[in-house]
Amino acid sequence: MPTPPVLLPTVLLHEVVLQADASRVELLLWRSARGFAYRLECAHAGALLVRYDNETPRGHLRSMLGRVTPYEFRSVEQLRYDFERDAQAALR
């Protein structure tokens, strides 16, 4: 019986933006053996302000200024919109 192929993670999008005010935004989306995965982070001077991810078995999560809540994933477009809105608010 043949062995099924091993699906390696495939990066779909990886962007890193470093800004003059010491803020850093990273967007990472990939396809894994378990399906679609993402991690979007916004940090300032090394402190994590906003993070959206579904890397853990806990599912889709939104962390903003240390408070973690469930996130209802609808689409990549909505994910990016929600993240950018929260990142802008946290950087104010």
In a 10 Å sphere around its CB, with 0-12 CB exposed, 13-18 middle and 19+ buried, how is residue 69 labelled?
A: exposed
The pLDDT tens digits for 57-75 are 889 999 999 999 999 999 9
Indicate whether 4 belongs to any domain: no
Instruction: Print the domain residue range for 42.
Output: 10-91
pLDDT digits (tens, 9 = 90+) for 2-45: 776 767 889 999 999 999 889 999 999 999 877 889 999 999 99
Instruction: Answer whether residue 49 is part of any domain.
Output: yes
Domain count, the chain: 1
* Residue 19 covered by a domain: yes
Phi, psi for 26 (deg, rounded to 5) = -130, 130
Distances (CA, A) of 59 to 27, 33, 41, 54, 63: 18, 15, 16, 5, 13
DSSP structural state of residue 43: E
What pLDDT shows up at residue 9?
Answer: 85
For the segment 48-53, the average pLDDT, to the nearest whole number, is 97
- What whole-number distance in Å separates Cα of residue 87 and Cα of residue 35? 26
> Whole-model pTM?
0.86
